[in-house]
């Protein structure tokens, strides 16, 4: 397990604002954790009491709706911090986190980082900025759900994954999601998600190999209404 002060991952999140001495202290108290694909990191309603720093891998944040559907709210990748709200409130988490592939993470106890929030204003501001970005993304997601068609939302999530997470060596989207995951992200039934992706394939907008998806026509996806 690398030391926080020498870990490149900190450059992707609010931890970059900590001093070297603060990072050394955090490094001494963190716990390294490995999560396998499909493993639950934390569940909705849990008390986290700390933050998770994603060192490698991808997880999904989701919320269980009243009808029992798992609504995917966000994908979190290397450099992301989970549990930031636990640092500024006593609220239990309102989301669940599940590994989409094998993940390596570091857990930093709340008790060890609260002093930094109180004494390092730059760190505090960066944490608040990240929380503000999360709220902005949540607001935009609500607008999309209300104003855009399911086909539009499906096209946008494919483009988002490609833009933000890239492709593998064969040109397929680097994040492999199940059709149920796609349905949960865009807010529709699994059967509807399968039908829309099949239509995209027939229209040569995408190609598939098992669960893997390759975008063949970027402009065509952008024109989906």
For the stretch 51-100, pLDDT in tens is: 898 888 888 888 887 777 778 888 888 888 888 877 777 778 888 999 98
Tell whether the model's pLDDT for residue 9 goes beyond 60. Answer: no
CATH of domain 4-121: 2.60.120.10
d(CA 199, CA 201): 5
Question: What are the φ and ψ backbone dihedral angles of 81, each rounded to 5 degrees?
Answer: -115, 130
d(CA 144, CA 88): 29
pLDDT band at 133 (very low <50, low <70, confident <90, very high): confident
Tell whether the model's pLDDT for residue 145 goes beyond 70. Answer: no
d(CA 189, CA 148): 16
Which two structure tokens, joined as six digits, stand for 82? 């989970």
d(CA 215, CA 221): 9
CATH of domain 147-222: 1.10.10.10
Domain ranges of the chain: 4-121, 147-222
Which two structure tokens, joined as six digits, stand for 64? 């269980």
- Percent of the chain past pLDDT 70, that is, above it, reads 88
Strand, coil or helix: 213 = strand
Q: Which residue has the higher pLDDT, 156 or 132?
A: 156
Report the pLDDT averaged over residues 97-106.
90
Report the pLDDT averaged over residues 116-136.
76
d(CA 29, CA 199): 51
d(CA 110, CA 86): 8
β-bridge partners, 16: none
Q: What is the pLDDT of residue 2?
A: 64
């Amino acid at each position: 397990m690398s030391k926080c002060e020498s870990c490149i991952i900190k450059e992707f999140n609010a931890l970059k604002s900590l001093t070297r001495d603060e990072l050394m202290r955090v490094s001494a108290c963190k716990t390294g954790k490995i999560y396998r694909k499909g493993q639950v990191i934390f569940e909705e309603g849990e008390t986290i009491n700390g933050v998770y720093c994603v060192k490698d891998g991808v997880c999904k944040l989701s919320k269980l709706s009243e009808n029992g559907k798992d609504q995917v709210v966000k994908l979190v990748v290397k450099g992301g911090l989970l549990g930031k709200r636990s640092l500024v409130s006593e609220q239990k988490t309102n989301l669940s986190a599940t590994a989409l592939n094998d993940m390596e993470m570091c857990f930093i106890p709340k008790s060890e980082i609260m002093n930094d929030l109180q004494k390092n204003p730059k760190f505090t501001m960066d944490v608040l900025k990240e929380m503000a970005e999360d709220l902005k993304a949540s607001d935009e997601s609500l607008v999309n759900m209300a104003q855009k068609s399911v086909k539009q939302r499906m096209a946008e999530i494919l483009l988002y994954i490609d833009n933000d997470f890239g492709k593998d060596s064969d040109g397929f989207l680097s994040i492999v999601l199940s059709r149920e995951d796609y349905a949960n992200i865009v807010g529709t039934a699994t059967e509807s998600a399968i039908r829309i992706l099949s239509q995209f394939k027939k229209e040569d907008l995408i190609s598939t190999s098992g669960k893997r998806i390759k975008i063949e026509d970027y402009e065509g996806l952008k024109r989906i209404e």
